[in-house]
Amino acid sequence: MRIVKTIDEVRKAVKEWKSTGLSVGLVPTMGYLHEGHQSLIANSVSQNDKTVVSIFLNPIQFAPNEDLESYPRDPERDAKLCEDTGADIVFRPEVSEMYHDDFCTYVDMDILTKNLCGKSRPTHFRGVCTVVLKLFNIVKPDRAYFGQKDAQQLAVIKRMVRDLNLDIEIVGCPIVRESDGLAKSSRNTYLNEKERQAALVLDRSLKNGIELIDAGERNSKNIIAAITEVIRSEPLAEIDYVSVVDAVSMQDVDVIENDVLVAIAVKIGRTRLIDNFSFSV
Q: How far apart are CA 122 and CA 154, in angstroms?
A: 17
Distance CA 128, CA 107 (A): 9
Catalytic residue among 34, 37, 100, 124: 37
CA dist 82 and 27 (Å) reads 10
Of 196, 179, 187, 205, which is closest to residue 264 (Cα–Cα)? 205
How many CB atoms are located within 10 Å of the residue 225 CB?
13
Phi and psi angles of residue 29, each rounded to the nearest 5 degrees, phi first:
-140, 165
- How far apart are the C-alpha atoms of 252 and 256, rounded to whole Å? 10
Greatest alpha-carbon pair distance for the chain in Å reads 58
**Terminal Cα-to-Cα distance of the chain (whole angstroms):** 43
From the number of C-beta atoms within 10 Å of its C-beta (0-12, 13-18, 19+), residue 167 rates as: exposed
Provide the residue type at 228 as one letter.
T
Instruction: Tell me whether residue 100 is one of the annotated catalytic residues.
Output: no
Q: What angle do CA 173, 40, 172 make, to 5 degrees?
A: 25
Q: Nearest Cα to 146, choosing from 123, 127, 165, 169? A: 169
- H helix or E strand, kind and range, residue 248: none
Which residues are part of the catalytic machinery?
Answer: 37
